[in-house]
């Protein structure tokens, strides 16, 4: 009888210890996942802010005044006068929408 009690007692203590270890493991995993979610949310906020800033920059770069300034300063472009315009193609020839001449 004493041997059986000792065996059952050992099994009960082992089961309790094992359940405590499982509980701690799950608790630590929950905390780790919480930190991961926090980092992911912070990164999401950072990326949203970066996208907003890039959208503002893109809108600024598309402005006509900005495009004209870059064209004049970087590429030395100027407004074209009528004598500088050259017509391409023969004047009497009509082109087809597909680009074929026949």
- The residue extents of the domains of the chain are 2-78
Q: Who has greater pLDDT, 5 or 93?
A: 5
Rounded to whole angstroms, the Cα distance separating 64 from 80 reads 17
What pTM did the predictor assign? 0.52
Span 49-78, mean pLDDT? Answer: 89
Span 72-78, mean pLDDT? Answer: 87
Share the mean pLDDT of the chain.
88
Span 5-14, mean pLDDT? Answer: 95
**pLDDT at 64 (0 to 100):** 85
Whats the size of the chain, residue-wise?
Answer: 102
**Contact call for residues 15 and 23 (beta carbons, < 8 A):** no
**pLDDT at 82 (0 to 100):** 82
**pLDDT at 77 (0 to 100):** 86
**pLDDT at 66 (0 to 100):** 84
**Contact call for residues 1 and 7 (beta carbons, < 8 A):** no
Nearest Cα residue to 77 out of 85, 87, 67: 67
**pLDDT at 99 (0 to 100):** 54
Task: Give yes or no for residue 101 having a pLDDT over 60.
Answer: no
Q: What one-character DSSP code corresponds to residue 3?
A: H
> Token digits for 6?
């000792």
């Amino acid at each position: 009888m004493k041997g059986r009690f000792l065996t059952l007692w050992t099994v009960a203590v082992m089961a309790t210890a094992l359940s405590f270890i499982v509980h701690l493991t799950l608790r630590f995993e929950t905390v780790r996942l919480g930190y991961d979610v926090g980092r992911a949310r912070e990164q999401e906020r950072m990326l949203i802010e970066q996208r907003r800033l890039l959208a503002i920059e893109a809108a600024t770069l598309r402005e006509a005044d900005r495009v004209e300034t870059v064209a004049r300063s970087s590429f030395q472009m100027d407004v074209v006068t009528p004598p500088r315009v050259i017509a391409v193609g023969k004047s009497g020839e009509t082109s087809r929408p597909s680009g074929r001449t026949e």
